[in-house]
Structure 1
Amino acid sequence: MSLPILTIVVPCYNEEEVFTKSYTQLKMVLEEIIENGDIDRHSQLLFVDDGSADRTWEKISEACVLDSSVSGLKLSRNFGHQKALLAGLEKAVNDSDCIVSIDADLQDDVHVIKEFVNKYAEGYDVVYGVRKKRDTDTFFKRVTALGFYKLMKKFGLSLVYNHADYRLMNKKSLEEMLRFKETNLFLRGIVPLVGFKSTTVYYDRKERAAGETKYPIAKMLAFALDGITSFSVKPIRLITILGFLASLSSLAAGIYVFISIMMGKTQSGWASLMISIWLIGGLLLMSVGLIGEYVGKIYEEVKRRPRYIVEENINNLEKSKTPANIK
């Protein structure tokens, strides 16, 4: 029985400072798994440059020249983490039996990949890397992350708690996932929808090895909103319920005013009037904004524009498989 070919997909965006460390550590892990006889020697690292403005692509290109187990994919501009990851997955699925996705910042423990491969050998189709705790996060990030997972569960989508995009998928499960053709990607929500036999591996997350985070608060909140609106229409239903409750409140207020008039108390309160106007106005604006978010997503989907554009492709895996190079 032939050994499986593993590809480790690493999306990169302005990771010049950490690339060398990332490449070195991932290469070391890949060689260890090959030496243990768990994967084929044609297994590879695939770095995807998501339109970096620094020397990230130059470093990827240099690694491809010096190391036949490294391949590179350069996108024409910055399409975002999820689409860069998708580009790598779509390329890797053609030449691999199992694929691991991991960020380049080395916050995820690279040695856990060995456990991923072991679980794959046991027959699991999907292996999720899950953080044991969030001690390295700020208080705000811990609270908002917990709230996000709980909110998504209430909206009907059971995400794997404390799992980002550090996972292993076999060829079959990845091929099925790639059948989801939406433009607005939230992969950590799509993967559980695919199904198949899955398990989790727990690990401790570290601080960034170098460089700055590519997910400030604004991007995190936008990512969370994308996740919610991509998988549930319940927020729109909540608007309907809110409108119904507001109507009941208006009816109650009308009854109160009528009774006040009948009792001769006709002097109205300026504060209560202003509060009511601002409250209703705020609810209306939020409702219109939320509906607009869904309409905008529909607008993006129906145009069917490409989710990413590849500018350059360095594929060493195909070269290493040619008869002249096989030992």
Structure 2
Amino acid sequence: MAPLLSVVVPMYNEQDALGPLTDRLRPALDAITADYEVVAVDDGSTDGTARQVAELMADWPQVRLIRLRRNAGHQAALTAGLHRARGEYVVSIDADLQDPPEKIGEMLALARRDHLDVVYGVRADRGTDTVFKRSTAGAYYVLMRRLVGSWVPRDAGDFRLLSRTAVDALTALPDHQPVYRLLVPALGFPSGTVRYVREERVAGTTKYPVGKMIRLAVDSVTNFSAAPLRLATWLGVLSFCGCLVMIVFGVVVYAVGSTVPGWTSLFVAVLFLGALQLTCLGLLGEYVARIYSTVQARPTYHIGTDTAARAEEKTPA
């Protein structure tokens, strides 16, 4: 039988964090008094992470090990774990213990009590992060809420609980580079939050250096917004308006005789062609944005309840 709870833990070179993680995660899960499994996803680690997890399985039978052939990235490892988790509820948590495992029981209790499909772990205090990390994270969430929608929760990373319904909806989507901190709230499932204080990394080094943070921001913008494509449209419109003003200026200067022969015609022709090119580029961007949206093939809606379907289920055959 499928367990009640699956805990997905993406890992990349986390051999030094495995001991402290086990010391806190196992008591937290045992205290829930429900069937559970721990899905450890080794993201192509080059240290002894996979070996230590394999050794841990001998003493902790609820642990499963999934090994990726190469380092595919945090979101890809998370996807692998979500696709293979069997629990009625699935929690994702990193191995660095910056997100407290002790909150998992509270998240599960909240989801079952209020019939929620998603429970976000929201960072109430990021005092352990550097000023640079806090400022860039704040800028990221402000940008995403402006471009994607105000329904994106602030300071909610990848520490969350999902119901089986939400997991099945996510796995059915065709996204090849999912950004779950935006994709999960986009589905619109009933959700709640559990607040916690973000702790310092227990061991090792961050797996999200500046380069990967920029990559995450780029993936977030390009996966969920056509704003960069539509920027060409607005630049084309603004440049066209500016070119009209400059054309009028060129004609006036020609009329008062303050130009050399041929200057006005060349000036007007360059402005006109430049404005025309930018406008056409903007129009192409609009059509590319529609192709981009079609290729994503995301559902435009997700039905929560249907009273007619319930009535059909109650009607005897």
Shorter-chain TM-score: which interval?
0.7 to 0.9
Amino acid at match of 1:7: S
Which consecutive unaligned segments of at least 5 residues does structure 1 have?
A: 268-272, 303-327
Q: Deviations over 1:233-286 (max 9, x none)?
A: 12212221112112222222333334344445549xxxxx9xxx9xx9xxx8xx
Alignment equivalent of 2:47, drawn from 45, 50, 54: 54
- Alignment check: 8 A CA contact 1:16 1:54 kept: yes
Aligned residues: 274
1:24 is matched with which residue?
Answer: 23
What is the distance in 1 between the residues matched to 2:258 and 2:205? 63
1:137 is matched with which residue?
Answer: 129
Following TM superposition, where does structure 1 have runs of at least 4 consecutive aligned residues deviating by more than 6 angstroms? none
What is the DSSP-based 3-state SS (H/G/I as helix, E as strand, rest coil) of the residue aligned with 2:95? coil
Q: Deviations over 1:296-319 (max 9, x none)?
A: x96xx79xxxxxxxxxxxxxxxxx
1:312 is matched with which residue?
Answer: none
What is the distance in 2 between the residues matched to 1:4 and 1:91? 13
What is the DSSP-based 3-state SS (H/G/I as helix, E as strand, rest coil) of the residue aligned with 1:111? helix
Give the deviation of 1:136 after TM superposition: 2.7
1:322 is matched with which residue?
Answer: none
What is the DSSP-based 3-state SS (H/G/I as helix, E as strand, rest coil) of the residue aligned with 2:40? strand
**Alignment of 1:83 onto 2:76:** yes
Alignment equivalent of 2:229, drawn from 230, 236, 240: 236
Which moved further from structure 2: 227-236 or 144-153? 144-153
Q: State which structure, 1 or 2, has the greater radius of gyration over its C-alpha atoms.
A: 2
Which moved further from structure 2: 52-61 or 136-145? 136-145
TM-score (norm 2): 0.78
Change (3 A) 1:264 1:54: farther
Q: Deviations over 1:120-162 (max 9, x none)?
A: 2202221110001332333333333223222222223331110
**Alignment of 1:166 onto 2:159:** yes
Alignment equivalent of 1:178, drawn from 157, 171, 177: 171
Which protein, 1 or 2, shows the higher relative CO under an 8 Å CA cutoff with sep ≥ 6?
1
Alignment equivalent of 2:89, drawn from 98, 119, 125: 98
What is the distance in 2 between the residues matched to 1:77 and 1:203? 33
2:310 is matched with which residue?
Answer: none
Change (3 A) 1:62 1:143: same
**Alignment of 1:254 onto 2:247:** yes
What is the DSSP-based 3-state SS (H/G/I as helix, E as strand, rest coil) of the residue aligned with 2:31? helix
What is the distance in 2 between the residues matched to 1:60 and 1:231? 36
Alignment equivalent of 2:110, drawn from 101, 105, 119: 119
Amino acid at match of 2:31: E
Give the deviation of 1:23 after TM superposition: 2.1
What is the DSSP-based 3-state SS (H/G/I as helix, E as strand, rest coil) of the residue aligned with 1:247? helix
- Alignment check: 8 A CA contact 1:27 1:45 kept: no
What is the distance in 1 between the residues matched to 2:193 and 2:45? 32
- Alignment check: 8 A CA contact 1:7 1:46 kept: yes
2:313 is matched with which residue?
Answer: none
The CA RMSD over aligned residues, in Å, is 3.0
- Alignment check: 8 A CA contact 1:96 1:171 kept: yes
2:195 is matched with which residue?
Answer: 202
Change (3 A) 1:196 1:256: same
Q: Deviations over 1:97-123 (max 9, x none)?
A: 111100111111221112112112202
Which consecutive unaligned segments of at least 5 residues does structure 2 have?
A: 261-266, 297-317
TM-score (norm 1): 0.75
What is the DSSP-based 3-state SS (H/G/I as helix, E as strand, rest coil) of the residue aligned with 1:130? strand
